[in-house]
Structure 1
Amino acid sequence: MESIINIFRTSLTVFGQQPLMWKLLATVGAIWTGNILANIGTFTWLHFLRRSSLARYKSKSSWALITGSSDGIGKAFAHELCHRGFNVVLHGRNEKKLENVRAEILNEHPAQEVRILLLDVAESAGDHARLDEAVDQLEDIDLKVLINNVGGVAKRLWIPLQDYSDDDARLFLDMNCRFQTELTRRLLPRFINGPSLIMNIGSFVSELPAPYISVFGGAKAFGKAWSRSLHFEMLAEGHDVEVLQVQVGMVSTPNEPRPESLFVPNALRMAQSSLDKVGCGRSVVFGYWPHQLHCSLLIDLPGLLRDRLLMRIVKGLKEQEERDLKS
């Protein structure tokens, strides 16, 4: 112990004898290194060490509502929530698809209950009476979890702003902004009795602006800001309601069958990883660790290099999309 103290004293003496410039550089280096180590530690804790707190919202009769759950990530959330002991309400506009998902889930989890909530986002986002009627259908259940998953794009993703039709622009905003706001506003009086969870599924396009997605990217940026504000509002009001925005990158789904890889998980892996982040204490989090790594690497690039790289990537994706539509 005494030898360690002597080494420490010697280090301080040597440091004190250095020129001011070297002291400043050493201090900056120590702070930078400490920050990097802290970020690595936080990343490791969040994605690999901590356990989900989802169980605190579960009882024998707890229900979860997943919007946009007829396929893709929403369907995967429904499967995983039932696997973790929740009853689920499947939301969508296609009754046949929802019935198929319901039968599939009940076959795997016969002890759980599954309901269907038919509601077309395109028609109901601004229809207050229809939204009220839909929420009234949930009055008799103990709803503890809301997964605001519905969203997405039209047939094309990479669209110059002037090429949007009136209907496409409205649908983008209704699907990605208005619907989740209006639905959450109506359910919040029930949730504030707590404990409850509101998970909003976002996209890392809100972190990295790119050409040809001004409407979609802007809508996702709204979702992120709205979610963060609601998170702090619940804290300020003393309500036991966790609001968590989950940022998502590329995922392989039946609608978008990308080849699976480390950076492109399937929908179930995405849902599992996202639910594992519940209770982490943050307002915004990446649900899947390679997505965070990918996004962080791009963000940390020098601005000019990053912007040129994104422009190049997106132009290639836009050209590929145009070729696919023609074929």
Structure 2
Amino acid sequence: MEIINSILQTPQAVFRRKPLVWALLAAVGTIWTGKTLASLGSFAWLHFVHRSSLERYKSKTPWALVTGSSDGIGKAFAHELCSRGFNVVLHGRNEKKLENVRAELLKEHPTRKVRIFLFDVAVSAGDHARLDAAVDQLEDIDLKVLINNVGGGAKRLWIPLQDYSGDDTRLFLDMNCRFQAELTQRLLPRLIKNGPSLIMNIGSFVSELPAPYISVFGGAKAFGKAWSRSLHFEMLTEGHDVEVLQVQVGMVSTPNEPRPENIFVPNARRMAQSALDKVGCGRSVVFGYWPHQLHCSLLVDLPSVVRDRLLMRIVKGLKEQEERDLKTE
């Protein structure tokens, strides 16, 4: 009993001798607790309470342009937008693939209209005349939504910097930085005129977690995040009714990358649905799918010495798997 009384009296004695120390500790604890509760509340509101305001961008004949929509997440966005009442412009470089997607959409959504925007980013990025001509073909539609989804780059992803070719570097930067910036720049006057309108940029959480072998790709995705945030505040500052939203994406199962689906790896349609549900949240950067945010936050919050070693081990395994897959092909 005496031991218990001693334990209980020790903090009181310390507090009497050093009340300022205890006051500071209490303040730090209160701030940390408040910040944690606010973060949890913000997470819950975004992913489980907030309702999309995509309907706000529908006019009599609303159109949405989805880049990189011949397959994967882009194709899923096209399906989801059609199901929510939008006509869709499909962008890609393979006309046959785009025609197949167009036929699929029209069969599933016979009341919608679907057009094709053919432009090969890998070949024609920087060809301003060709891009201008392609954009001019959209002059007659009421464009309300732009989904900058095209990304990727070289066939290999996990590449040591010294092994990059000039074409590898150019392709990563053209597909993940240059094209979305130049396309948006050309379409922005129209989106402002047709406002309210939406620009959604699809990013990656590699911009949140630097990892080996993706220095160029990760840097390109970090550009996309910074560019989106800047454009978001630019629209607010200029008083334009154009929502700019960067959506961070983790691993997704697609026909091109058929990963096993689980709670952390959704299929492309689920990813597109969840991303569109974040429209109107009032933020400039969000995770489109709640387990992706949870996964990323857990990694970010690890002590750096643990996180960095874990990332290096994971990425090294992914690089070795990629090399095996390329040999098999």
Q: Shorter-normalised TM-score: what interval? A: over 0.9
Superposition map of 1:1-327 within 5 A = 19-193=19-193, 194-327=195-328
Distance 2:154 2:171 in 1: 8
Distance 1:81 1:59 in 2: 14
Paired amino acid for 2:199? I
- Deviation of the 1:323 alpha carbon: 1.5
1:91 and 1:118 in contact (8 A); partners too = yes
Distance 2:117 2:242 in 1: 23
Distance 1:46 1:102 in 2: 33
- Deviation of the 1:46 alpha carbon: 0.2
1:124 and 1:130 in contact (8 A); partners too = yes
- Deviation of the 1:20 alpha carbon: 2.2
Distance 1:325 1:115 in 2: 35
Paired amino acid for 2:240? H
Distance 1:73 1:185 in 2: 23
Distance 1:108 1:323 in 2: 38
Consecutive aligned runs of 4 or more in structure 1 exceeding 6 Å deviation: 15-18
Distance 2:288 2:103 in 1: 28
Distance 2:184 2:132 in 1: 12
Q: Deviations over 1:147-191 (max 9, x none)?
A: 000011322110001111111111111101000011000001111
The match for 1:8 is: none
What is the root-mean-square deviation of aligned Cα atoms in Å? Answer: 1.3
Distance 2:125 2:47 in 1: 35
1:231 and 1:244 in contact (8 A); partners too = yes
- Deviation of the 1:19 alpha carbon: 2.2
Distance 1:168 1:320 in 2: 20
- Deviation of the 1:122 alpha carbon: 1.3
Distance 1:101 1:68 in 2: 12
Paired amino acid for 1:283? S
- Deviation of the 1:123 alpha carbon: 2.0
Distance 1:198 1:18 in 2: 55
1:125 and 1:182 in contact (8 A); partners too = no
The match for 2:12 is: none
Size of the aligned set, in residue pairs, is 313
User: 104-113 or 316-325, which moves further after superposition?
Assistant: 316-325
With structure 2 as the length reference, what TM-score do the two structures score? 0.93
Q: Secondary structure at the match of 1:90?
A: strand
Distance 1:189 1:117 in 2: 19
- Structure 1 residue runs without a partner (length 5+): 1-14
Q: Secondary structure at the match of 2:88?
A: strand
- Deviation of the 1:21 alpha carbon: 1.8
With structure 1 as the length reference, what TM-score do the two structures score? 0.94
